[in-house]
Amino acid sequence: MPDDLGSLSLAEIARLVEQRRLPPVERWNPAECGHSGMRIARDGTWFHDGGPIGRVAMVRLFSTILRREPDGRFVLVTPVEKLDVDVEDAPFVAVEVKSEGDGESRNLAFRLNIGDIVIADSDHRLRFEEAADGPHPYVEVRPGLDALIARPVYYELAELALAEDAEPPGLWSGGTFFRMAPQ
């Protein structure tokens, strides 16, 4: 995956997203094996036994086998084991956005801290939650797994929404309108 969305068209980004194949973690149901010793911090940093995981390739690998259980827990799952992971907020962070088009024709592509790309649409919804420290915007990456939208990216979205002058304030992407307010 690219390090920068600026040089790609949305059609090129869509092709990259389509090529990305993930393991079928939703079909794997091994027995519980305990805790992984892993924690994902609010800023998207992955830790193991208290120290940050420095190898980006390892974080990317672990991210492909991450799943959210119906009870809300996060687990790393393989065909033979399932290990709990502590997640402070969301397991991923959207660190860049690329917008193409305007109004109902707009598409928003997000690059995540792990290098993946997500295009906001009806299957990858944007949502905005209000918290004591301000809005917490998210984009759905996979079922049950969200990316917290980094503050600078949120400000870019807010600028786009203000320019659109929609009522209620929000943005279109992938044919779906997303209100930029808690729902």
Domain boundaries, the chain: 20-87, 92-179
* Fold that domain 20-87 belongs to in CATH: duf1285 like fold (3.10.540)
- The structure tokens listed for 22 are 């993930």
Tell me, what's the pLDDT at 168? Answer: 86
- The structure tokens listed for 176 are 């779906």
Over residues 84-128, the pLDDT tens digits come to: 999 999 999 999 999 999 999 999 999 999 989 999 999 999 999
Give alpha helix (H) positions in 5-150. Answer: 10-19, 56-64
Superfamily of domain 92-179: duf1285 protein (2.30.270.10)
pTM as predicted = 0.86
CA quadruple 104, 105, 106, 108: dihedral sign: positive
